[in-house]
Amino acid sequence: MATVGKVIKCKAAVAWEANKPLVIEEIEVDVPHANEIRIKIIATGVCHTDLYHLFEGKHKDGFPVVLGHEGAGIVESVGPGVTEFQPGDKVIPLFISQCGECRFCQSPKTNQCVKGWANDSHDVMSPKETRFTCKGQKVLQFLGTSTFSQYTVVNQIAVAKIDPSAPLDTVCLLGCGVCTGFGAAVNTAKVEPGSTCAVFGLGAVGLAAVMGCHSAGAKRIIAVDLNPDKFEKAKVFGATDFVNPNDHSEPISQVLSEMTNGGVDFSLECVGNVGVMRNALESCVKGWGVSVLVGWTDLHDVATRPIQLIAGRTWTGSLFGGFKGKDGVPKMVKAYLDKKVKLDEFITHRMPLESVNDSIDLMKNGKCIRTVLSLE
């Protein structure tokens, strides 16, 4: 191919600073270095974590950056030492790597690979090194992926090869939101058949958690959101009950406790708000209730009274649904192709990369589930 071995100039949406609209720029994408893969991104979802960095986290050293971490694409070229991938392979970049060798990769209990970028630059939400420049400046790669760019470069430990028949403009959602919510229910909470669950926050992550609870055989799934427009969609994924905290004067944990004779068996927080995290925990039944933090925030401490845990509740969390990416993502792609998990139902909007700021506004205003941006 004409681009192999050369720096590529292409379009990307650059976040020059926090709280400002993204700007479509021409950026330079370096050749892949040792063990790296250069990927032509075909499509990407927009996830709340992109908005978190731009509007909430706003870490001063985290800009300029190319956001986006829920993409799918095709390998354009590979660097020295890459044997597992070839140009033309369909792939999903992973924001959590799977080196296969570290203590964490060797354990079946976790997906927290130690070789990933996240171990040394957590606050900034990007690795220190980047293969992007724009106007002579270094531009960071958000979560090591940066899918709001027509090309990106990712280490081979953070790429999943997927079925060549998979439609990239749909399976991109498995790069973050859907694996995150689904896995949080199935892998982390380990929802049991016949159980009662509550899911707080009905964006793509929460709806995927609802789908996970349903596929695990939960008999009752209570969908909680302040935005009642979300309830219709939650029904599609298997929710059975709908609660808007604004309709109640008493604490939501009390409402759920009354609805369920003492609390739910499993709850999942998919908002990213420490107050909701507390409510989700306290909505669980004592003795065995399990509450999973899925929503992302690093700005405040979480708190509860010790008795909540002393009484036998378990409080845990889940990154990327507990999936080891290289193993789990291709399986989830297969599950979609076999019609065992839904993806199309999450996509409410499609637009070109140039409309990225519209897609951000839609999410900010609660008007979408997922927008898929096309980069072709």
Q: Restricting to residues 204-243, name those near ligand NAD by CB under 6 A.
A: 204-206, 224-227, 230
Q: Choosing among Zn ion, ligand NAD, none, which partner's interface includes residue 373 (Cβ < 5 to 8 Å by kind)?
A: none
**What residues between 276 and 305 interact with ligand NAD by CB under 6 A?**
276, 294-296
Q: Which residues of this protein are in contact with Zn ion, per CB under 5 A?
A: 47, 49, 176
Residue 95 or 151: the one with the smaller Cβ distance to ligand NAD is: 95
SS (H, E, C) the chain: CCCCCCCEEEEEEEECCCCCCCEEEEEEECCCCCCEEEEEEEEEECCHHHHHHHHHHCCHHHCCEECCCEEEEEEEEECCCCCCCCCCCEEEECCCCCCCCCHHHHCCCCCCCCCCHHHCCCCCCCCCCCCEEECCEEEEEHHHCCCCECEEEEEHHHEEECCCCCCHHHHHHHHCHHHHHHHHHHHHHCCCCCCEEEEECCCHHHHHHHHHHHHCCCCEEEEECCCHHHHHHHHHCCCCEEECHHHCCCCHHHHHHHHCCCCECEEEECCCCHHHHHHHHHCECCCCCEEEECCCCCCCCCCCCHHHHHCCCEEEECCHHHCCHHHHHHHHHHHHHCCCCCCHHHEEEEEEHHHHHHHHHHHHCCCCCEEEEECC
Q: Does 177 sit near ligand NAD (CB under 6 A)?
A: yes
* Nearer CB in complex with ligand NAD: 22/294: 294
In the list Zn ion, ligand NAD, none, the entry touching 319 (Cβ below 5 to 8 angstroms by class) is ligand NAD
271 touches ligand NAD (CB under 6 A): yes
270 binds, options ligand NAD, Zn ion, none, Cβ within 5 to 8 A by partner type: ligand NAD
Residue 37: contacted member of ligand NAD, Zn ion, none (CB under 5 to 8 Å, by partner type): none
What is the nearest approach in angstroms of ligand NAD to the Cβ of residue 137? 27
From the list Zn ion, ligand NAD, none, partner contacted by residue 266 (C-beta under 5 to 8 A by kind): none
* Residue 343 binds to ligand NAD (criterion: CB under 6 A): no
Q: Does 146 bind ligand NAD (CB under 6 A)?
A: no
Interface residue with ligand NAD among 37, 52, 148, 315 (CB under 6 A) is 52
Site string (73-92) toward ligand NAD, x via CB under 6 A: --------------------
Q: Which residues bind ligand NAD (CB under 6 A)?
A: 47-49, 52, 176-177, 180, 200-206, 224-227, 230, 245, 270-273, 276, 294-296, 318-320, 363, 366
